[in-house]
Structure 1
Amino acid sequence: MKEDNILENGLLEIPAGKIREYENIFQGLRREVLEETGLTITEIEGEKDVVECKCNGYTVISFNPFYSSQNLSGVYSIMLQTFICKAKGNLLKESNESINIRWIKLTELKELLDSNENLFYPMHINAMRKYINFKLGGSNC
Structure 2
Amino acid sequence: MERFSKPAAGGIIEKNVDGIDYILIQERSKEDAKLEEGLLEIPAGKIREFENIYECLRREIWEETGLQVTEIDGEKDSTIFESNRYKVLNYTPFACSQNIEGNYPVMVETFICKVKGEMLAKTNETKNIRWISLKDLKELIVKDKNRFYPMHIKTLEKYIDMKSKAL
Q: Same fold (TM over 0.5)?
A: yes
Q: Secondary structure at the match of 1:17?
A: strand
Q: Deviations over 1:107-128 (max 9, x none)?
A: 1110010000000000000110
- Report the equivalent of 1:112: 140
Which structure 1 segments of 5+ residues have no match?
none
TM-score, with structure 2 as normaliser? 0.80
- Report the equivalent of 1:57: 85
Aligned partners of 1:71 and 1:97: how far apart in 2? 20
Aligned partners of 2:35 and 2:88: how far apart in 1? 35
- Report the equivalent of 1:40: 68
Which of 73, 94, 110 is residue 82 of structure 1 equivalent to? Answer: 110
Range moving further from structure 2, 4-13 or 124-133: 4-13
Higher relative contact order (CA 8 A, sep 6+): 2
- 1:131 maps onto 2:139 in alignment: no
Which amino acid letter does the alignment assign opposite residue 155 of structure 2? A
Which structure 2 segments of 5+ residues have no match?
1-28
Q: Secondary structure at the match of 2:142?
A: helix
- Report the equivalent of 1:6: 34
CA-atom RMSD, angstroms? 0.8
| Higher fraction of strand | 2
What is the total number of aligned residue pairs between the two structures?
137
Is contact 2:30-2:124 (8 Å) kept? no
Identity of aligned residues (%): 57
TM-score, with structure 1 as normaliser? 0.94
Which amino acid letter does the alignment assign opposite residue 93 of structure 1? A
Q: CA deviation at 1:136?
A: 2.0
Q: CA deviation at 1:6?
A: 1.6
